[in-house]
Amino acid sequence: MAQSDARAAHAAAVRRLLASYRAIPPDATVRLAKPTSNLFRARAKTRHKGLDVSGLTGVIEVDPDARTADVAGMCTYEDLVAATLPYGLSPLVVPQLKTITLGGAVTGLGIESASFRNGLPHESVLEMDILTGAGEVVTASPDKHSDLFRAFPNSYGTLGYSVRLKIELEPVKPFVELRHLRFNSVAALFEQMDRIVATGRYHDTPVDYLDGVVFAADEGYLTLGFKTISPGPVSDYTGMQIYYRSIQHPGEDGAEKRDRLTIHDYLWRWDTDWFWCSRAFGVQNPRIRRFWPRQFKRSSFYWKLISYDQRFHIADRIEQRKGRPPRERVVQDIEVPIERATEFVEWFLANIPIEPIWLCPLRLRDPNGWPLYPLRADRTYVNVGFWSSVPAGPTEGYTNRLIERKVSELDGHKSLYSDSYYTAEEFDQLYGGETYKTVKKVYDPDSRLLDLYAKAVQRR
């Protein structure tokens, strides 16, 4: 009965969504009406209400026998994980922040420490219902509307919006044992990462999760996660202790520090401090942290602070009062082939005044690849994440443009959730070009939805 009620509620929500779509004038920009976003690029304001997605936020069904879940497009990973963990199951890849939605991770990409095994979130999608620019809901899968299915990842809502997704799940265990391996050179760190990805093992033990943090050219860490049922004490990084600081320890290359978390706390280990970005709000200062309400130590609240800053230019005003120039936001995730990762990270540390930086290896599961983010399926890539600001350069986006050029030089790609500065020609070469335009004409013939270049680069 509960499942039939959930499906009936979902069907009613889809009808409301379609009604809200038809209420938007043909010459108006179509957007989602949603309270949260994980985009860092500015969006132009619209005169009309967005699409009504109010009923598309839940888990429709978890099938523990088939290890699948039917999920509404606007369901957050926080809610999805809460529904699957009681069955001892988890999505194959759980992006790091609780408010990321499943639909957002599929149309805008996502990654996490299981990506060296399980690829990217969209690769676990079995089928999805998509509201297209033509105002129709179509079911896309590898066998139905396959052109839309394959072009949807990295389309950022310019081909349509996912209404329902059916995804694979995998078994998890109650705890995750962590081993933080220290490396005193970037090259040694990537050599070890490459070995683990290639074999799936460390000292003959299967590795379930793998990511890393570089604090400086002579201080980097790989964190290896191992699923376990063994009971014992676990750490808690939702209070005074800060997860990323717990990684650090002295020693030679390969020196270990161990830790344990519940699977729930492991999946959300980065959310409490938004990786390390909470330091910008003073939350890592012990005197402030002690009195900062626990319910506000999460990425969704920091997002609100960021939105206030973007709206009122608070940080720039502070810099101006101190007699310093405004700062350029450098918030990016990029992928480079693992054989070029040392070169990129050493270049970054020498030229960009941002630390720490996050590392996450990945290999695509699907041998056919994905046209709007064309990584090679037979190649290991490393996601490098850096989220901060630097003194503004002589031209707009000066530092971001430097990074874009370096990433392209190393045969890499960067995600489009933040500021981009590519020319239209460069963008077409990197993000699907003619394939995207062909699919766009089929499923959005009247251009009701923004073009990807207009949305990602021109910030319309």
Task: Identify the pLDDT of residue 49.
Answer: 65
Q: Taking the alpha carbons of 278, 282, 287, 290 in that order, is the dihedral positive or negative?
A: negative
Q: Give strand pairing partners of 386.
A: 332
Q: What is the mean pLDDT of residues 122-129?
A: 98
Q: With pLDDT > 70 as the criterion, what percentage of the chain qualifies? A: 93
- CATH class of the structural domain 313-420: alpha beta
* pLDDT surpassing 70 at residue 11: yes
* pLDDT surpassing 80 at residue 157: yes
Task: Identify the pLDDT of residue 311.
Answer: 67
In this prediction, residue 318 has a pLDDT band, given cuts at 50, 70 and 90, of low
**Cβ-contact 439, 147 below 8 angstroms:** yes
Q: Give strand pairing partners of 125.
A: 167
The structure tokens listed for 423 are: 């020319």
Q: What is the mean pLDDT of residues 74-100?
A: 97
- Three-class DSSP category at 341: helix
Task: Identify the pLDDT of residue 179.
Answer: 98
Q: What is the mean pLDDT of residues 285-291?
A: 95
Alpha-carbon separation of residue 130 from 53, 103, 170, 237, 411 (angstroms): 13, 10, 24, 38, 32
Strand 175-183 versus strand 125-132 pairing type: unpaired
* pLDDT surpassing 80 at residue 29: no
In this prediction, residue 319 has a pLDDT band, given cuts at 50, 70 and 90, of low
Task: Identify the pLDDT of residue 28.
Answer: 80
The structure tokens listed for 350 are: 């020498």
Task: Identify the pLDDT of residue 34.
Answer: 57
* pLDDT surpassing 90 at residue 2: no
Q: With pLDDT > 90 as the criterion, what percentage of the chain qualifies? A: 84
The strand ranges marked E within 232-299 are 256-262
Angle at 217 between CA 212 and CA 222, to 5 degrees: 15
Q: What is the mean pLDDT of residues 22-47?
A: 65
In this prediction, residue 252 has a pLDDT band, given cuts at 50, 70 and 90, of very high
- Residues in Cβ contact with 306 at an 8 Å cutoff, skipping those fewer than 6 apart: none
User: Each residue of 418-437: pLDDT tens digit?
Assistant: 999 999 999 999 999 999 99
Nearest Cα to 340, choosing from 415, 255, 391, 406?
406
121-139 burial string, b = 16+ CB within 10 Å, else e?
Answer: bbbbbebbbbbbbeeebbe
Domain covering 2-172+441-451, topology: 3.30.465
Task: Identify the pLDDT of residue 317.
Answer: 63
Domain ranges for the chain, please list them: 2-172+441-451, 313-420
In this prediction, residue 37 has a pLDDT band, given cuts at 50, 70 and 90, of low
Bigger pLDDT: 391 or 317? Answer: 391
Alpha helices per DSSP H over 236-335: 243-246, 263-267, 286-289, 299-312, 314-321
In this prediction, residue 39 has a pLDDT band, given cuts at 50, 70 and 90, of low
Bigger pLDDT: 450 or 39? Answer: 450
Say which range, 4-18, 196-210, 277-291, 303-317, has the weakest mean pLDDT: 303-317
User: Each residue of 339-362: pLDDT tens digit?
Assistant: 999 999 999 999 999 999 999 999
pTM: 0.93
